[in-house]
A = this chain, B = another copy of it.
């Protein structure tokens, strides 16, 4: 179907998906550019495709003007294609878990998602004050790995309290704790903190296992995406 009017109701609805509140309300999000749209298509989560190129897909396809694309895209350089995707429903926990306590930077979150797939942590639990995982910048930084993850946004304190006892609840501590290399467990739930404030005390208190990453004293801390990735890497390669 061809669309050329900026006032079309479809166009207005797509544009709203740039805002978290409408993504939440509609349970939809946008994915931009060929590479990411292809990743989305592989996982059958695409509701419709919007493109400026005259080409049809196996899902409802809208061929639009560059002006429309500019309006609905989050990017300065407009993409050739956008997919409107359904959020996947959270399913039962299987395997390791990453829990994020108020992570703020979209780039850091995207990086963590990418590493989570690389090191087999298929479950991502975000606190209610974390950046929206369906933010276009997060999707981009995840390099499409977001489609392979089981995602839940919730009260993480409650989540930790109700978590099955098979899981060893781990968080980082600069001052004391065990070298991550020396921990052995069957199932891990690793909590990572906010970029500035770290893990909140009340959340840290729910994690019996404190770990550290061995490094030089003159560096206070690592980037949270790096720290989280090294912890997952060690678990995967233990």
Contacts and interface: CB of A to CB of B under 8 A. Distances in A.
Interface of A: 105, 107, 110-111, 114-115, 117-120, 141, 143, 145, 148, 181, 213-216, 218-223, 225-226, 229-230, 233, 236-237
A117 B218 contact: yes
Given A110-B223, A111-B225, A111-B226, 8 more contacts: A114-B219, A114-B226, A115-B226, A119-B216, A141-B223, A145-B219, A215-B233, A225-B226
Given A107-B107, A215-B118, A216-B120, A229 B222 contact: yes
A119 B111 CA distance: 20
Contacts of A111: 223, 225-226
Contacts of A215: 118-119, 233, 236
Contact of A219 (B117, B219, B220, B221): B117
A230 B234 CA distance: 10
A229 B117 CA distance: 17
Contacts of A117: 216, 218-219
B118 A219 contact: yes
Nearest to A227: B229
A7 B69 CA distance: 42
A174 B55 CA distance: 33
Nearest to A120: B216
Contacts of A236: 214-216
B148 A222 contact: no
A77 to B, nearest CB: 14
Contacts of A105: 107
Contacts of A119: 215-216
- What 7 A-B pairs come out closest when comparing CB atoms? A118-B219, A118-B215, A226-B229, A111-B223, A117-B219, A107-B107, A120-B216
Contacts of A145: 219
A100 B44 CA distance: 38
Contacts of A107: 105, 107
A222 B118 contact: yes
A181 to B, nearest CB: 7
A194 to B, nearest CB: 14
A214 B120 CA distance: 11
B181 A237 contact: yes
